C-alpha cells in the first residue's frame, strides 16, 4: 500500500429540512389548527481514529464527502427525518486543520476516538411553532439552516515512542529489523527506505514500545533536499531519538563526524522542540571495524563529536549490543510516562471515590 501522510478534502454536512405549513382537515371541523411539522436536521460528518489504518491514501483519491440533508416537515405534526451521518475513518495520529487558514482544528490520538468535523444544519420550524392566542392560523415557516462546509487538510504524524534518524545507508533499516517485527526493504545503497516503517520492540512480557524508521537525512533536508524532510514531522511525537551513525562507511574519505553534526543541525533548523528531544548516540556497523581498533575509533568519534549523552556501540547485522540499547530505550520511555502521570495514579493504594 502506498504511504501517504498528507491529503486535502472537502466536507459538507447536510442542510436542515424546511418547515411545513399545514392545517388539520377533519370532518365537521371547519377551522382546524396548524399542524405543520419541523424539518429534520442535516447529517453530521464525523472523523474516527482507526488503528487498522496507517495511511491517508484513501483520501488522496476521494476528496469530496457530503452528508445527506434533512427531510422537510410534513402535515399531521410530522417532523422530517434527520439526514444520515457519515463517518470518515482515519489513521491514529491524524491532524485535521483548516486548509484555508492553517488553523489546527482536531487531533485523533486515541484508537476509536470520534469527533464531529462538520455539523449538520438544524431543521426549519413548521407553522405549528408560530401558533399563539392572537395568531391561531399562522402561515409562517422557516427554511432549514445550512450545514457546515469546510476545506480541510489532513496530516498524519505516526505515533511512535522511538524514532531512528541518520544519514542514508547508516543501517537504520537493518537495526529496526534486528530489534522489532518490522521487515523493511534493505539494500547496500542509500535511500532504500522511501517511507516510514513502524515496528514493535518487545523487551519482555508485557514490555514493549513502538519504533519508527524514517528515510535518511542529508545536509539541507530542512530546506527540502533529499526525502527525509518530508517525514521529519513523524519524529515530533516520539519520546526518544536514536541517532544512528555508520562508523565504517564504504568511502574512507567520508567524515562521519561532519555528517553526524549535519543531522543535528537539520533537526535544529526544522524544529527547535525536536532538537531538544532526548537523543541517544548509536554507533553502528562495529562488526566492520577490526576488534583491536574499535575502542580507539569510538573514543575518537565521541571526542570530535563533543557528545556527552548516552553512547551505544552496536552491530545491527550481528545484533551485538542491540539488547542493551532496547532495554535502555524502554526504561527511558517508562520513566517519561511515569513523570507524565498524576501522583494519584502512581500510588497503588489510591482508590477513586465514586
The ranges assigned to domains in the chain are 6-24+32-126+139-156, 162-341
How high is the pLDDT of residue 348? 43
Cell triple for residue 168?
542514508
How high is the pLDDT of residue 130? 92
Sheet holding 149-156, edge to edge: 64-66, 6-12, 149-156, 94-98, 104-108
* Predicted structure pTM score: 0.65
Tens digit of pLDDT at every position of the chain (354 positions): 445 678 899 999 999 999 999 998 877 777 778 999 999 999 999 999 988 887 788 888 889 999 999 999 998 889 999 999 999 999 888 889 999 888 989 989 888 899 999 999 999 999 999 998 888 889 999 999 999 999 999 988 777 788 888 887 788 888 888 888 766 555 454 445 556 677 778 887 778 888 888 765 545 444 544 444 556 776 777 888 899 988 888 777 788 888 888 888 888 887 788 888 888 999 988 888 888 888 888 888 888 988 888 889 988 888 898 999 999 999 998 888 777 655 444 444 333 333
Distances from the Cα of 52 to the Cα of 5, 23, 113, 250, 327, angstroms: 15, 53, 13, 40, 28
Count of CB atoms situated within 10 Å of the CB of 207: 14
How high is the pLDDT of residue 98? 92
CATH topology of domain 6-24+32-126+139-156: Spo0b-associated Gtp-binding Protein; Chain: A, (2.70.210)
Which residues have CB under 8 Å from 289's CB, separation 6+?
247, 248, 297
Find the helix packing angle between 172-179 and 322-340, rounded to 10°: 80
For the 162-341 domain, the top CATH level (class) is: alpha beta
Task: Report the candidate in 182, 201, 57, 280 with the shortest Cα–Cα distance to residue 173.
Answer: 182
- How many helices and strands (H and E) does the chain possess? 7, 14
Amino acid at each position: 500500500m502506498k504511504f501517504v501522510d498528507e491529503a486535502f478534502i472537502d466536507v459538507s454536512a447536510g442542510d436542515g429540512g424546511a418547515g411545513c405549513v399545514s392545517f388539520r382537515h377533519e370532518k365537521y371541523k371547519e377551522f382546524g389548527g396548524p399542524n405543520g411539522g419541523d424539518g429534520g436536521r442535516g447529517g453530521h460528518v464525523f472523523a474516527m481514529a482507526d488503528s487498522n489504518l496507517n495511511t491517508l491514501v484513501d483520501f488522496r483519491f476521494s476528496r469530496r464527502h457530503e452528508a445527506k440533508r434533512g427531510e422537510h416537515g410534513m402535515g399531521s405534526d410530522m417532523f422530517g427525518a434527520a439526514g444520515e451521518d457519515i463517518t470518515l475513518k482515519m489513521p491514529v495520529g491524524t491532524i485535521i486543520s483548516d486548509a484555508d487558514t492553517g488553523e489546527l482544528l482536531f487531533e485523533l490520538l486515541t484508537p476509536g476516538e470520534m469527533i464531529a468535523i462538520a455539523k449538520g444544519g438544524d431543521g426549519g420550524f413548521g407553522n405549528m411553532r408560530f401558533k399563539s392566542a392572537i395568531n391561531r392560523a399562522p402561515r409562517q415557516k422557516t427554511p432549514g439552516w445550512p450545514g457546515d462546509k469546510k476545506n480541510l487538510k489532513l496530516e498524519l504524524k505516526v505515533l511512535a515512542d522511538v524514532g531512528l534518524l541518520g544519514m542514508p545507508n547508516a543501517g537504520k533499516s537493518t537495526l529496526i529489523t534486528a530489534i522489532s517485527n518490522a521487515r523493511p526493504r534493505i539494500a547496500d545503497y542509500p535511500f532504500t527506505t522511501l517511507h516510514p516503517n513502524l515496528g514493535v520492540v518487545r523487551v519482555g512480557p508485557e514490555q514493549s514500545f513502538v519504533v519508527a524508521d524514517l528515510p535518511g537525512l542529508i545536509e539541507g533536508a530542512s530546506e527540502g533536499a533529499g526525502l527525509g524532510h518530508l517525514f521529519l514531522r513523524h519524529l515530533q511525537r516520539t519520546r526518544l531519538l536514536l541517532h544512528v551513525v555508520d562508523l565504517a562507511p564504504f568511502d574512507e574519505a567520508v567524515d562521519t563526524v561532519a555528517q553526524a553534526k549535519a543531522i543535528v543541525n537539520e533537526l535544529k533548523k526544522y524544529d527547535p522542540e525536536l532538537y531538544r528531544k532526548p537523543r541517544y548516540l548509536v554507533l553502528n556497523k562495529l562488526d566492520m571495524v577490526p576488534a583491536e581498533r574499535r575502542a580507539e575509533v569510538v573514543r575518537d568519534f565521541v571526542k570530535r563529536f563533543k557528545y556527552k549523552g548516552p553512547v551505544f556501540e552496536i552491530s545491527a547485522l550481528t545484533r551485538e549490543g542491540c539488547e542493551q540499547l532496547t532495554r535502555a530505550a524502554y526504561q527511558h520511555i517508562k520513566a517519561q510516562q511515569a513523570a507524565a502521570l498524576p501522583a494519584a495514579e502512581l500510588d497503588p493504594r489510591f482508590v477513586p471515590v465514586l
